């Protein structure tokens, strides 16, 4: 019986596979194999037994059904895995899990999952960055209305709007890259973090194990890897989700019929907008992104709570983390790809952008203030003249420029709002160049 929508509605198989039950077992077994190999190299267990354990420490030999069946009997998931691995390893099974505690396996397996997911996460961010850079370049000279407080403000370019989003995504790429060394860490220090079971060699074993697995290790463990690392991870995902909701909200706003400047992709031949209002073209993907972004952020508080444990560890973090890390990872990948799809297929209505801009002379209020200052007025005096004229223009429908000239007796410059986009193009081009450099240093998974 399937209950969670993440199993049948949301998320890509590529990512769900990393956090699946089968993959989790595979990562745990990989850790057990690395521990045995390290102990064999240091002469703690016979080398032939170490090689044998490493050989059988995979899901070809350790059947997940057998592990789950045994777990039901003994009530311990890691010990069930250990027992089945020990059994299939024959006489060598006597050395399985030597000196380890459950969370040496669990936390290190989580690090391996996150190591694999980080490559996908970075690829997702670069894909979104590419879609944004394409739009920003194409529309860097396209004027549109800038809005503050939901009201008309000053002219900008659509390229500038999109380049601001691109700049935000580049910061997220930097955050993801910088966090790798703090988030992707495992441990092999036993029950309370002292490594007492195998004595002074434990530190060396831990270094060998983590080097084999190509991850970092916890320098100051308890029974766990310190949870501030996971808090940072979920915080970064929450921050990315917040950006995506911001972007998708802007798409939804600009798609409103009274604005009509963009539209997310919509298959007019097949797609249904409403079960009753057949005429509807709804921004459902952008709305879905907003909805799922809130779910991701909702996991941040439980992750903080899960880092507050008694003494060297209790079990209050265990159940919540089984949801938090897989769900936030699967969902952030889902909405990153949906956001890329939106921007890659975005319909941009340049004609409407131009119409909305040219139909509101009040957008030149700041320009007229500066014009008056050049004519000798103080800035505050010029501001009050334009403010009063703007209020009168709203009431009477008279032209703002005419009202200002009538009030001052001065001839104002003819100002075209299309020429009042400031440094929009220069800012956009600078951000595009930075993304081009960053994209040139893009990391890929070693086996790609």
The candidate with the shortest Cα–Cα distance to 223, out of 300, 327, 316, 305, is: 316
8 A C-beta contact, residue 35 and residue 202 = no
Q: How far apart are CA 397 and CA 413, in angstroms?
A: 21
What are the CA-CA distances from residue 441 to residues 137, 253, 257, 438 (Å)? 20, 35, 41, 5
- Which residue among the candidates 4, 76, 274, 291 is catalytic per the annotation? 274
Strand partners, 348: 262
8 A C-beta contact, residue 39 and residue 99 = yes
- Which residue among the candidates 89, 149, 275, 320 is catalytic per the annotation? 149
Q: How far apart are CA 264 and CA 286, in angstroms?
A: 8
In the residue annotation, 149 being an active-site residue is answered as yes
8 A C-beta contact, residue 301 and residue 265 = no
The candidate with the shortest Cα–Cα distance to 198, out of 38, 344, 21, is: 38
Q: How far apart are CA 153 and CA 290, in angstroms?
A: 26
Q: What are phi and psi of 277, to 5 degrees?
A: -95, 85
The candidate with the shortest Cα–Cα distance to 370, out of 383, 357, 388, 389, is: 383
Q: Using N-to-C axis directions, what is the helix angle for 379-396 and 400-408, rounded to 10°? A: 130
State the SS3 of 27-83: HHHHHHHHHHHHHHHCCCCCHHHHHHHHHHCCCCCCCHHHHHHHHHHHCCHHHHHHH
Q: What residues act catalytically?
A: 149, 274
């Amino acid at each position: 019986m399937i209950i969670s929508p993440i199993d049948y509605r949301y998320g890509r198989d590529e990512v769900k596979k990393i956090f699946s039950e089968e993959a989790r077992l595979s990562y745990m077994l990989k850790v057990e194999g690395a521990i045995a190999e390290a102990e064999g190299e240091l002469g703690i267990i016979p080398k032939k037994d170490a090689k044998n354990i490493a050989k059988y420490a995979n899901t070809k030999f350790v059947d997940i059904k057998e592990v789950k069946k045994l777990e039901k009997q003994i009530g311990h998931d890691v010990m069930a895995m250990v027992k089945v691995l020990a059994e299939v390893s024959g006489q060598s099974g006597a050395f399985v899990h030597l000196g380890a505690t459950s969370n040496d396996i669990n936390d290190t397996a989580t690090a391996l999952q996150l190591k694999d997911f980080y490559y996908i996460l970075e690829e997702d961010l670069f894909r979104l960055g590419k879609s944004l850079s394409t739009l920003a370049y194409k529309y860097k000279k396209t004027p549109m209305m800038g809005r503050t407080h939901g009201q008309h403000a000053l002219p900008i370019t659509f390229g500038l709007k999109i380049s601001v989003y691109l700049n935000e995504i580049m910061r997220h790429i930097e955050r993801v890259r910088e966090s790798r060394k703090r988030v992707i860490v495992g441990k092999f220090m036993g029950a309370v973090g002292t490594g007492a079971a195998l004595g002074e060699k434990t530190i060396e074993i831990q270094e060998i194990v983590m080097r084999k697995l190509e991850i970092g290790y916890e320098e100051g463990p308890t029974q766990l890897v310190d949870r501030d690392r996971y808090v940072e991870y979920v915080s970064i995902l929450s921050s990315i989700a917040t950006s995506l909701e911001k972007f998708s909200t802007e798409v939804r706003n600009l798609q409103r019929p009274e604005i009509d400047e963009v539209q997310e992709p919509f298959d007019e031949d097949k797609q249904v907008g409403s079960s009753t209002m057949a005429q509807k073209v709804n921004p459902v993907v952008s709305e879905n992104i907003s909805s799922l972004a809130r779910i991701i952020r909702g996991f941040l508080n439980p992750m903080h709570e899960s880092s507050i444990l008694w003494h060297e560890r209790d079990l209050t973090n265990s159940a919540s983390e089984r949801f938090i890390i897989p769900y936030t990872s699967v969902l952030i990948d889902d909405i990153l790809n949906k956001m890329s799809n939106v921007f890659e297929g975005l319909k941009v209505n340049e004609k409407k952008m131009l119409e909305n801009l040219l139909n509101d002379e009040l957008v030149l209020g700041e320009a007229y203030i500066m014009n008056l200052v050049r004519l000798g007025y103080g800035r505050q005096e010029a501001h009050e003249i334009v403010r009063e004229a703007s209020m009168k223009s709203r009431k009477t429908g008279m032209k703002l420029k005419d009202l200002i000239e009538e009030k001052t007796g001065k001839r104002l410059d003819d100002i075209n709002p299309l020429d009042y986009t400031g440094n929009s193009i220069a800012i956009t081009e600078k951000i595009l160049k930075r993304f081009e450099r960053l994209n040139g240093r893009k990391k890929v998974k070693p086996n790609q």
